[in-house]
Amino acid sequence: MLHLTFRQLSVFEAVASHLSFSRAAQELHLTQPAVSMQIKQLEENVGTALFEQLGKKIYLTEAGHELYHYSRVIAQQLTEAEAVLSELKGLKRGQLKISVASTANYFAPQLLATFSQRFPTITVSLNVTNRQALLQQLASNEMDMAIMGQPPEGLDLVAESFMDNLLVVIAPTNHPLTRKKSIPLGRLAQEIFLMREEGSGTRIAMERYFEANGVKIQAGMQMNSTEAIKQAVQAGLGLGVVSLHTVELELEARRLKILDVEGLPIRRHWYIVHRKDKRLSASAQAFKNFLLDEASGLLPLEEIG
């Protein structure tokens, strides 16, 4: 039987995450000899080396990689246990870790502001990232939940829609098609489209829609953010497909226009996503209920087309 202490595991996790004794010591507010002693005792307890040194760098051994995985799981379970016990003791406080796809960041802060007004004792941490990193965070259980526009397939996740996500075709205000009504979808095959990066939820939805309707679009420049797409469209480099939530300011300022295309907008949804095996804290459950019950009313979309 392994005789490990939580202290040893927390020190080990810090060293393993930084691959540095000195940085781990700084993070934990310990001296470097104290960190080294904890690791030495831990290696004696497990009966094998957890780190190896090559030159001036240290690396995890195979056993170290295995223990690092379990130490993170244990740390996460302890955090969840602390939250549950705090709730049982009636403490009116909590923490909430949310990750959002970069496109959702155009409206997520407004929702979080309203939520924080309702629950001022809940500390919210917001992380904005791309779809690939967000999926990795879900897989590694690094956050409570995520907001995204295209829930992944084949993963053991719970995804519930809470608000419409209308994808529209945007053009510069001087584009000839801005003066047309009921543009046939096939007409867009003559235009150049600025594309999001591979794996983007917006790009996936866009490509599926055009393919399902037998329209082959011409892909132009590829960009890794909606902001870059909007700027490039304004500059006349092509058309773009974006969420209506992301262009409200540009439409008001008349820097961009939405094309009146038959069959559009593409009607999608925003989703709140978390691992199926995730035990949601009271704070996380309160936020999920808030989104499902109120988000669509707080951020109404003007009907298009």
Q: Are 101 and 147 in contact (CB under 8 A)?
A: yes
Question: What's residue 56's pLDDT?
Answer: 86
Cα separation of the two ends of the chain: 67
What stretches of 191-258 show up as alpha helix (H) in DSSP? 201-212, 226-234, 248-252
Q: How far apart are CA 247 and CA 223, in angstroms?
A: 17
Question: For 55, which DSSP code?
Answer: T
Q: Is the pLDDT at 216 greater than 50, yes or no?
A: yes
pTM for this predicted structure: 0.66
What kind and span of H or E run contains 119? Answer: none
Tens digit of each residue's pLDDT (9 = 90 or more) over 243-295: 999 998 999 999 999 999 999 999 999 999 999 988 888 888 889 999 999 99
- Kindly list the structural domains of the chain, giving each domain's residue range(s) and its CATH number in brackets, ordered by start: 6-86 (1.10.10.10), 92-163+269-298 (3.40.190.10), 164-268 (3.40.190.290)
Q: How far apart are CA 38 and CA 59, in angstroms?
A: 17
The answer to whether the peptide bond before residue 265 is cis (omega within 30 degrees of 0) is yes
129 exposure class (CB count in 10 Å sphere: 0-12, 13-18, 19+): middle
Question: What's residue 278's pLDDT?
Answer: 86
Three-state secondary structure call for residue 229: helix
Residues pairing with 99 in the sheet: 127, 146
Question: What's residue 305's pLDDT?
Answer: 40
